[in-house]
Amino acid sequence: MKCGKFLHLSTPIENPEMPDPWVRMLNSKRGLHLVVLYLNLGDWRIPWSVRVWRGKGQTSLAQLACKLLATVPTALALDAPVIVLADTEFGTIEFLQAVQRRG
């Protein structure tokens, strides 16, 4: 894990053609906030997909998680129990309904 200020990643940019900074504040924590979907298959833990949270006013963490769940092929869940573990940040109605729709 890297520690430090990383100002080059968070300095606001006045040029509208440049991308927004990646470092954001969430729950009083400053950093690059990612939503990561892992698949646990036996002893294997495989990172399936990743999304970067772009900050307030953009796609929410729960919406990003819903998009990640939609990328998992249904064939992977046919012969194995599916357990979804998520942080409390994802405990929205939208996310719970997305999990339920996926079966």
Contacts by residues 57-63 (CB-CB < 8 Å, ≥ 24 positions apart): 60/92, 61/33, 61/35, 61/89, 61/90, 62/89, 62/90, 62/92, 62/94, 62/95, 63/94
Lookup: tokens for 3: 């520690």
Element housing 79 (H / E): none
Q: How far apart are CA 16 and CA 53, in angstroms?
A: 19
Percentage of the chain beyond pLDDT 90 is 0
Query: Tens of pLDDT along 20-53?
Result: 566 666 677 667 778 888 888 888 888 889 888 8
pTM: 0.67
DSSP states of 16-44: TTSPPPS-EEETTEEE--EEEEEEEETTE
Q: How far apart are CA 81 and CA 51, in angstroms?
A: 25
Query: Tens of pLDDT along 83-98?
Result: 888 888 778 888 888 8
